[in-house]
Amino acid sequence: DEYFGMNTDVDAVVYLQLVNNLLHDLFPNAITIGEDVSGMPAFCRPWYEGGVGFDYRLNMAIADKWIEVMKHSDYDWGMADITHTMTNRRYAEACVGYAESHDQALVGDKTIAFWLMDKDMYDYMAAPGHGGSSPVIDRGIALHKMIRLITMALGGESYLNFMGNEFGHPEWIDFPRDDTYDPSTGAFVPGNGGSMEKCRRRWDLCDAEFLRYKFLAAFDRAMCHLDKAFGFMSAPHQWVSRKDEGDKVVVVERGDLVMVFNFHPTTSYTDYRVGCNNAGAYKLVLSSDEEVFGGWRNLSKETDGDHVSFGGDHDRRPNSFLVYAPSRTCAVYGPADWADPEADRKPAGVPGLGVKELGPYYEY
């Protein structure tokens, strides 16, 4: 009754079905994305199946979950809670995953970067050799990369950036507002005097060589090119083999890739066993700890070797291999045949990404 009874606005649903049908008939390559907070079943199924006809729906719970998580101590972050929110979606209905959007960036809330680093961003975002840093900034940059990659890995079949979060934009957006009154309650709502100070995005921060925003932007570029190479977001195989609350480790399989996230604030793990589906040799293709991403190079494709899997059940997976998982890092392992630690030194290489040539599934 909640979705298909007469309490539903039938005319609105039929209108959306007609619009999606018309758009896909006239423009076969068009993609429509719906924003729906009700959890309407079949929202992203074709009209002839009784669906509304959108191609994707926004996975809106993820961004709210990150705000909720960041209000707690690092030791209280729940690995199962995070992965459940990421993967809690209907089978065969494609979703757009995103770590933050306008809801988080508008006045009244804070961007993820500002939640993580707050006022330290004004004084300690200098790149090495250009000024001082702080433990708050080091933590924030490390977690910002991890939050975005695990959202891309588990949040849906596509990924959305929002106006600067790809490089950790520090401030909120606030449009010019005058004093007004709430028409429902009559309560006074103060404005900002028509100020345009925060009515902009500071794209210059990303381009400044002397600031650390460039590291976050480089990692975002590498993430996107990793998906171009391996097509993992659209891969049907997705499996969370480990969500360890004590170790603060999450291990994810997506397509041919194995991703290891160590959220523990202080503990690094040597010879950490991670499960995998496919047997064979794996190699590091992306590490958040690369210097080009503002990392410490404790885990780098330049020094990491082959990881040959061995049989035997581990975390309900038929194979497994051993890795080094430094504190507050994420790492992606791919088939060794498609890994090249020198790839980013070549003309078409992407800084920090160790994928051979264009990868196995690249499409222009």
Per-residue model confidence (pLDDT) at position 86: 96
Residues 343-359 have pLDDT tens digits of 999 999 999 999 999 99
Confidence of residue 171 (pLDDT cuts 50, 70, 90): confident
Distances, alpha carbon 84 to alpha carbons 172, 240, 298, 328, in Å = 28, 10, 30, 20
Residues 90-110 have a mean pLDDT of 86
The residues pairing with 320 across neighbouring beta strands, listed in sequence order, are 275, 310
**What is the sign, positive or negative, of the torsion defined by CA atoms of 213, 219, 220, 222?**
positive
- CA 67/CA 348 separation, integer angstroms: 37
Contact 160, 33 (CB under 8 A): no
Per-residue model confidence (pLDDT) at position 102: 83
Contact 245, 170 (CB under 8 A): no
Res. 108: pLDDT tops 80: no
Per-residue model confidence (pLDDT) at position 106: 79
Res. 187: pLDDT tops 90: yes
Per-residue model confidence (pLDDT) at position 121: 97
* Tokens at 186, concatenated: 């009559």
Per-residue model confidence (pLDDT) at position 192: 92
3-state DSSP call for residue 190?
coil
Q: To the nearest whole percent, how much of the chain has pLDDT over 70?
A: 99
Confidence of residue 188 (pLDDT cuts 50, 70, 90): very high
Answer with the residue of higher pLDDT: 172 or 323: 323
Residues 41-62 have pLDDT tens digits of 999 999 999 999 999 999 999 9
Contact 98, 59 (CB under 8 A): yes
Predicted TM-score (pTM) of this structure: 0.95
Residues 272-327 have pLDDT tens digits of 999 999 999 999 999 999 999 999 999 999 999 999 999 999 999 999 999 999 99
* Tokens at 53, concatenated: 């006809």
Res. 22: pLDDT tops 70: yes
Per-residue model confidence (pLDDT) at position 281: 98
Per-residue model confidence (pLDDT) at position 364: 59
Confidence of residue 76 (pLDDT cuts 50, 70, 90): very high
Per-residue model confidence (pLDDT) at position 122: 95
Res. 172: pLDDT tops 90: no
